[in-house]
Amino acid sequence: MANLKAIRQRIKSVQSTQKITRAMKLVAAAKVRRAQMRVLAARPFTKAVVRVLREVVGEVSPIDVQELQLLTRRDVKKVAIIVLSSDRGLCGSYNTTVFREVISRISKLQAEGKEVSLILVGLKAVSFFKSIKIEKLKTFTLLPAIPSVEEAKLIAGFASDLYTEKKVDAIEIIGTDFISMLRSEVITTKYLPIDLPPAEVKTQLQPIRLFEPNIIDVMERELLPKYIQNVIYQGLLEASAAELAARMNAMTNASNNARDLIAGLTLVYNKARQAAITQELLEIVGGAEALKG
């Protein structure tokens, strides 16, 4: 009977866990739909910013471009990597895949003789790289569940200051691109200096744009800051959607595993209960035979 009691307790424990994983799955499923809509809504704006930059590039001479600090290139001796992770766990291999790519990138850069430092976004990244001896320039944790432009500005402002003050010679972003509910991809993006998209060849009449006070000033104060902020913002949106999708899939798998485990434990419990009943019947019959004798 002690064995039956232990199995019953185990079944109840797994059932309680299954209720939690099912609830988390439903919450993640509801959130990931909204996150997907935010990602899809933000992508046209990103394309529009790139398109405007592309058109402006065609109107700026290379000499004028050299005046813009965010476009200035120099010998790369120190690289900063912005790592986009999550604040919470229970999302499968989402964070592990990102960290694996970061470690690989660090090893490659160090093999080239370059110094590497990190800008960590998310508690999971802070926890993972805590024991790794590498410089951490800044950490951003406990960010809002829904990425906002304000936090993107904060990260982009810190990164641009690092570059313009020549504390680092290049900045990269390693995060996750949301592709579908079942698929995401870890990508490395060259962030600073900005790689300006090549100017398109004008095959038709284009509207005339007037920039006040001048095109260089507008690029420095408006276009380039908005571009680098939007790259971070888009990265945060993509990472958020990928994280929620990973959590939904992880909780789905956990719920299915709990269901299979409950079925297996129930079978074991029924067999043990049947064996116990059979043993009691045999004892009763044996006792009755003994009394007859």
Give me 237's structure tokens. 């949106």
Identify whether the C-beta of residue 134 lies closer than 8 Å to the C-beta of residue 107: no
Beta bridge partners of 172: 81, 190
Residue position matching structure tokens 């902020």: 229
Distances (CA, A) of 127 to 132, 141, 168, 242: 10, 11, 24, 20
- The answer to whether residue 91 is catalytic is yes
Distance from C-alpha of 44 to C-alpha of 18, rounded to nearest angstrom: 40
Identify whether the C-beta of residue 85 lies closer than 8 Å to the C-beta of residue 99: yes
Distance from C-alpha of 148 to C-alpha of 247, rounded to nearest angstrom: 21
From the candidates 91, 120, 152, 192, which is the catalytic residue?
91
Residue 198, exposed/middle/buried by CB under 10 A (0-12, 13-18, 19+)?
exposed
Identify whether the C-beta of residue 142 lies closer than 8 Å to the C-beta of residue 123: yes
CB atoms closer than 10 angstroms to residue 177: 17
* CA-derived radius of gyration, the chain: 29
By annotation, the residues acting in catalysis are 91
